[in-house]
């Protein structure tokens, strides 16, 4: 079930840098890489620094700002809710059009306040400066520095990485009914270089090893673009864990048949044929 969206009022204040010239100029760029028809923006950024009044502004522990800019759409998340909308650039100013939508996931007060703070910053018409892979937003005395996500956090390899389950989702959209994995469940998966899959589903280990730990039996996979084709049986041990039935059902739905996969930084998402997804984080 898709979380409800709440429309946030924004102030499209056109705060233009004095150095920008007329309103038709593109985003300011110290390195001269801005093309004549607009800025060479990356699709995704992560925050590396936040300042207010010249002093560091700490974010809620364990969070960061993720900012996406692609095809006139803006998307941001800070560890709880997601913000989305449309934008345009005018004379070095980011203008959010027609308000921002925010998911209502139900956060703790500090993260909720942080979401609201960043939504207000985006709505205040921050100036934008692009310097290579570094993007800086400035609104009043608040400065947020970002780096191209692919530079700051390169994607981990699907194969040869141990991925530990950290949540579930019901739908193709990452914001659809996101749920955390049960605290008492430790489940992981590893796509071995020889085409076999090993891991632990939270109840049983799966994948049989041969000499020197080589996997010689069990579930197999083939990569076909953004899909994984899984064949064979898991070849797991057979301990029963009835209290984990819901988790096990979700886990194996994402490792059966043809599933869609994507990796972003240290996160893996597997979406099963029934549309349910399991999310993982890299642990080695």
Are 148 and 253 contained in the same domain? no
| pLDDT level of residue 7 (50, 70, 90 thresholds) | very low
Q: Which two tokens stand for residue 190?
A: 């590893």
Range of the domain at 133: 5-152
Candidate from 66-70, 116-120, 234-238, 259-263 with smallest mean pLDDT: 234-238
Are 166 and 123 contained in the same domain? no
Over 50: is that where the pLDDT of 14 sits?
Answer: no
Q: Assess contact for 167 and 185: CB atoms under 8 A.
A: no
Calculate mean pLDDT across residues 226-235: 91
Count: domains in the chain: 2
Are 123 and 198 contained in the same domain? no
Residue 196 lies in a domain: yes
Residue that is last in its domain, among 152, 174, 206: 152
Residue 52 lies in a domain: yes
Over 80: is that where the pLDDT of 29 sits?
Answer: no
What distance in Å separates the CA atoms of residue 139 and residue 119, rounded to the nearest whole number?
12
**Cβ-based neighbours of 224, under 8 Å, separated by 6 or more:** none
Are 199 and 247 contained in the same domain? yes
Are 187 and 268 contained in the same domain? yes
Over 70: is that where the pLDDT of 26 sits?
Answer: no
Residue that is last in its domain, among 152, 181, 210: 152
Q: Assess contact for 95 and 127: CB atoms under 8 A.
A: no
More confident residue, 246 or 211: 246
What distance in Å separates the CA atoms of residue 233 and residue 123, rounded to the nearest whole number?
52
Calculate mean pLDDT across residues 204-227: 79
Q: Look up the CATH number of the domain holding residue 23.
A: 2.40.128.270
State the virtual CA torsion across 86, 89, 90, 91 in degrees, nearest 10. Answer: 160
Are 203 and 252 contained in the same domain? yes
More confident residue, 37 or 215: 215
Residue 157 lies in a domain: no
Are 78 and 126 contained in the same domain? yes
Candidate from 27-31, 230-234, 263-267, 273-277 with smallest mean pLDDT: 27-31
Query: What integer best gives the mean pLDDT of the chain?
Result: 82
């Amino acid at each position: 079930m898709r979380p409800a969206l709440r429309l946030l009022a924004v102030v499209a204040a056109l705060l233009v840098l004095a150095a920008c010239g007329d309103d038709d100029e593109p985003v300011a760029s110290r390195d001269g890489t801005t093309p004549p028809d607009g800025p060479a923006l990356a699709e995704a950024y992560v925050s590396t620094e936040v300042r207010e009044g010249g002093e560091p502004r700490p974010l809620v522990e364990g969070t960061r700002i993720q900012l996406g800019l692609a095809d006139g759409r803006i998307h941001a998340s800070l560890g709880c809710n997601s913000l989305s909308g449309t934008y345009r650039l005018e004379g070095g100013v980011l203008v959010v059009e027609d308000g921002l939508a925010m998911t209502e996931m139900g956060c703790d007060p500090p993260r909720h306040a942080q979401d609201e703070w960043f939504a207000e910053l985006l709505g205040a018409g921050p100036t934008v400066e692009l310097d290579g892979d570094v993007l800086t937003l400035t609104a009043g005395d608040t400065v947020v520095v970002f780096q191209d996500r692919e530079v700051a956090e390169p994607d981990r390899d699907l194969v040869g990485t141990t991925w530990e389950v950290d949540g579930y989702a019901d739908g193709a959209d990452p914001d659809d009914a996101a749920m955390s994995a049960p605290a008492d469940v430790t489940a992981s998966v590893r796509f071995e270089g020889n085409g076999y899959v090993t891991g632990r589903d939270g109840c049983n280990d799966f994948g049989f090893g041969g000499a020197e730990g080589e996997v010689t039996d069990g579930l197999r996979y083939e990569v076909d673009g953004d899909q994984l084709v899984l064949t064979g049986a898991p070849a797991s041990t057979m301990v029963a864990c009835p209290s984990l039935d819901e988790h096990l059902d979700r886990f194996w739905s994402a490792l059966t048949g043809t599933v869609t996969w994507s990796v972003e930084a240290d996160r893996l998402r597997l979406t099963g044929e029934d549309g349910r997804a399991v999310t993982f984080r890299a642990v080695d």
